[in-house]
A and B are shown apart, each in its own frame.
Chain A
Amino acid sequence: MKEVIKGHAWVFGDNVDTDQIIPAEYLVTMKNSELAKHAFENAMPKFASQVRKGDIIVAGRNFGCGSSREHAPRALIGAGVSCVVAESFARIFFRNAINIGLPVIETKLASRSGDLVVVDLRRGAIKNERTGESKRFPAYPPFVMMLIEKGGLIPYTKEVLGCRR
C-alpha cells in the first residue's frame, strides 16, 4: 500500500449506500474493471466516465451503508479510486475495504469536487491543498494496521497457513 496518496476529490454526502456505489443489477461479475463501469451510475452518472486513476472520494457520514457486497469497494478500486475519506463508515464496507486493500480514513474534511487532497497514511495526516486545511486522523488499531501492512486479509491468511506466496 502506498503511504502517501495524492488525488483529486469527488465529494458525496451522507448515507451513500452500496446500491448507489454499485446497483444490484450489476452484481453478476466480480471483475473490478467491469464493476467500475457502473460505479455511482444512478447517484452520479458522470463518475464512471470522468474518474481518473488516483482520485479520492470524500464523503459525509455512514459511507457504504447497506449490503455486504464486496463489489462496492471493488468497483471503486476498479475505477482507480486511491482512498475513501468519510466522516464515518458503515462497518461492513470498512471491513471489506481494509481486507482487500482500499485505504479508508475516518475524518471530516471540507472539500469541493476537484480539490487536491493529500493523505499520509503512516503519519495519519490529511490535507486539502486548495483550502489549506490539515487534519490528523487516529491510527488504526494494531491488528488492522498489521493487515494493511501485509496487503490485506488474504496475504495475512496465507502467512498464517504457511502457504507459499
Chain B
Amino acid sequence: MGKTISEKILSSKSGKDVRAGEIVEAKVDYVMVNDITGPAAFDEFEGLCVPPIRNKIVLIPDHYVPNKDVPSAMQAKKMRDFAIRHRIPSYFEVGSGGVCHQLMIEQGFVAPGRLIVGADSHTCSYGALGAFATGIGSTEAATVFARGVLWLRVPESMRFTVDGKLGRFVSGKDVILTIIGDIGVEGARYASMEVSGSSISSMSISDRVTISNMGIEAGAKACIVPPDRKVDDYLRGRVRGAYKWTLPDADADYADQNSYDGAEIVSVVAKPFLPSNVAPASETPVEIDQAYLGSCTNGRIEDLRIAAKILKGRKVRNGVRMIVVPATKDVYDQALKEGIIKTFSDAGAFVSGPTCGACLGGYMGVLAPGERCVSSTNRNFVGRMGAKDSEVYLASPAVVAASAIKGRITDPSEVSR
C-alpha cells in the first residue's frame, strides 16, 4: 500500500517509515509564533537550558499590532525584546510585515515537503504549497525553539477531489465552505485533508491558500494541495533554500474520499455561529451593518482585486461600514500601485494597514450588540468579532463587496457588469 503526502513528509522528517496512527518526533523546518502566542513560548523557553535554534524561528507580531492598548503593547514589546536578545533574524516589525500566514508564504518560508508548525491554528494554510503545516500551542513552540523537533501523531488522510470549471464569482472560499458545510466542523478532526482535482489545478495559489487555511474549521490537522508547476512559479525568486515536491502514491490509503462537481458550487455564506452553517448567498438576503475584507483567509492582492473590480465606480451603501485590511505590506504596496486602495476609498470604504484586526474581535472594526457583518474571515463563533449577540456571515471577497453595495448579503452575479 502506498502513502499519503502526510505519511511521506512525516516519515521523511522523523527518519522512520511511518503510517497513520503512529506517533513520531519529527524535525521541524520552521516554527512561527505571533504576538499573542509568542509571550508564553518565550517564558517557557527561558526555563530550558539551551540557546534557541535561531534560523528555524519566525516571529511575527500581527494580532494586536499596531498595539490596541497597553497590555497588547507589552506583549509586542516582549516579542521584540526576545528577537533582539537572541538575535533572531526572522522578526517582522510593524511596517515591514503583516498577517503571519500570508507573510510566511510571501517570504519564502513555505515550500513543498516541509514540516512547519505555528502557534496559530491557521498555520494549516501552508498546505496550499504542499507543506505539512499545523497549528500548535505556545509551550510546544518553546520546545521547538530549543530542540527543533516536535511530537506528532501521523494523521489519517481524507481525500477531496473537485473537478470542473468553477462559476465566474465562485472562489476557493466557496469551495472550502461548501466542503465544511457537508462534513461539519469536526468532519476532518485529527485528519489531514488532501484537496485536488481540475478545479484546484486551475485555481490561483491565493485561492488554494484560502482552502488550506480553513481546513482547521473542519477540525483538520493539515489541509494539503499536492504541489504543481504553479507552486514552483510562485516560489521562484522567493523561496528560502531548496525543496522537493512530495506527492501521494497512486495507491495511498485514504480514510475517506469525497468528490465534488466544481460547476455545481455556488457563492455561499456561513451563517452564525458555525463555519459549517452554509447556505447560498442568493438565499440569505440579510441586512448588514459592516462588510469586512481581510485576514489570512482572504486578505491577499487577488482578493482585493476581485472586490475592487466589483466596487469600482460604486458606493458602499449608506448605513454600511466597509473595512478593508490588506494582509501584508507587500499586498498593501501592490494595491496602492494598482490604484485599488483609491478605488476602495472612493467607494467609501475604510482601508487600514496590515493587522489581524477585527477578525478575532480585537480592534479595527469590532461589532456592537445586534450588529451583523459579512466578512471574508474564517470564524463566525458567538462573539467572534465583538459583542456576544453580534453576527458574522463568512463569505468570499466577491460576496463581501457585492453585499457592501446592496446593504444586504448579495450574490455577486446580481451586481456584475
Among A19, A74, A92, A141, point to the contact of B381 (Cβ < 8 A): A19
A82 CA / B16 CA spacing, docked (Å) = 37
Residues of A within 8 A of B140 (CB): 95-96, 99, 153
Task: Give complex CA distance A99, B64 in Å.
Answer: 26
Residues of A within 8 A of B40 (CB): 30, 70-71, 74
Min C-beta distance of A45 to chain B, whole Å: 10
Question: Known contacts A29-B71, A162-B49; is A88 also within 8 Å of B382 by CB?
Answer: no
Residues of B30-52 at the interface with A, using a CB-CB cut-off of 8 Å, are 36-37, 39-40, 43-44, 47-50
Q: Which of A48-56, A58-66, A107-115, A116-124 has 4 or more CB atoms under 8 Å from chain B?
A: A58-66
Is B143's CB under 8 angstroms from A153's CB? yes
Chain B residues within an 8 Å CB radius of A69: 36-37
Q: How far, in angstroms, from A157 to B53 measured CA to CA in the complex?
A: 15
A153 in complex: contacting residue of B49, B135, B139, CB < 8 Å: B139
Segment with Cβ contacts to B, from A4-12, A20-28, A129-137: A20-28
> Would you call B297 an interface residue if the criterion is a C-beta within 8 Å of the partner chain's C-beta atoms?
no
Query: For residue B36, which residues in chain A have a CB less than 8 angstroms away from its CB?
Result: 27-28, 69, 71
Interface readout for A61-92 with B: 1 if CB under 8 Å, 0 if not? 11001111111001000000000000010111
- B139 touching A68, Cβ below 8 Å: no
Select B146's contact among A28, A43, A88, A161, beta carbons within 8 Å.
A161
A46 to chain B, nearest CB (A): 15
B379 at the interface (CB under 8 A from A): yes
Q: Which B143-163 residues have C-beta < 8 A from chain A?
A: 143, 146-147, 151, 153
Chain A: CB-nearest residue to B221: A91
Q: Which residue from A61, A68, A143, A160 sits with its C-beta under 8 Å from B37?
A: A68
**Cα-based distance from A66 to B69 in the complex (angstroms):** 24
Q: Mark B183-223, 1 if CB is under 8 A from A, else 0.
A: 00110011000000000000000000000000000010100
Q: Chain B, interface size: which category?
A: 35 or more
Partner of A62, one of B37, B186, B361, B381: B186
CB distance from A85 to the nearest CB of B (A): 17
Contact in complex: A70, B361 (CB < 8 Å): no
Q: Is A125 positioned at the interface, with any CB of B under 8 Å from its CB?
A: no
Pair B50/A154 contact, Cβ less than 8 Å: no
- How many angstroms from the CA of A161 to the CA of B49 in the assembled complex? 7
Residues A143 and B381 in contact, CB atoms below 8 Å apart: no
Q: Across the interface, which residues of A come within 8 angstroms of B63, CB to CB?
A: 27
User: Please, which residues of chain A bring their CB within 8 A of the CB of B190?
Assistant: 91
> Which among A43, A95, A158 is the interface contact of B382 at CB below 8 angstroms?
A43
B108 at interface by CB-CB < 8 Å: no
Binary interface encoding of chain B residues 50-64 relative to chain A, with 1 for a CB under 8 A from any of its CBs, else 0: 100000000000011
Of the candidates B48, B136, B362, the one whose C-beta lies within 8 Å of that of A24 is B362
CB of B49 within 8 A of CB of A163, answer yes
- How far is A73 from B328 in the complex, measured between Cα atoms in Å? 31
Taking a contact as CB atoms under 8 Å apart, the answer to whether B382 and A42 are in contact is yes
A96 to B360, CA, bound (A): 20
Write the chain B residue with the least CB distance to A89: B189
Interface status of B121 (Cβ within 8 A of chain A) = yes
Instruction: Let me know if B361 and A158 touch, CB within 8 A.
Output: no
* A143 B120 Cβ-Cβ under 8 A: no
Q: Is B238 an interface residue (CB 8 A)?
A: no
The residues of B that contact A160 with a CB separation of less than 8 Å are: 147
A33 within 8 A of B: no
Q: How far is the CB of A90 from chain B (nearest CB, A)?
A: 6
Q: How far is the CB of B146 from chain A (nearest CB, A)?
A: 6
Are B137 and A68 in touch, CB under 8 angstroms? yes
**Smallest CB gap from B42: residue in A:** A30
Q: Is the pair A100, B139 in contact by a Cβ cutoff of 8 Å?
A: yes
Q: Is B374 an interface residue (CB 8 A)?
A: no
B72 at the interface (CB under 8 A from A): yes
Give A61 to B276 CA distance when docked, in angstroms.
15
Q: Are A157 and B147 in contact (CB under 8 A)?
A: yes
**A-facing residues in B108-147 (Cβ within 8 Å):** 118-121, 123, 135-140, 142-143, 146-147
Q: A96-B140, A147-B151 are in contact. List 12 more A-B contacts (CB 8 A).
A: A15-B186, A19-B360, A24-B362, A65-B185, A66-B121, A66-B381, A67-B120, A70-B119, A91-B189, A99-B140, A100-B137, A158-B47
Could you give 19 example pairs across A and B, Cβ below 8 Å?
A17-B379, A17-B382, A19-B381, A19-B383, A23-B361, A24-B384, A27-B36, A28-B69, A42-B382, A42-B388, A61-B186, A67-B121, A68-B118, A68-B136, A92-B137, A96-B140, A141-B153, A153-B151, A164-B49
Nearest 7 CB-CB pairs, A to B? A28-B71, A163-B49, A96-B137, A42-B388, A70-B137, A68-B135, A62-B186
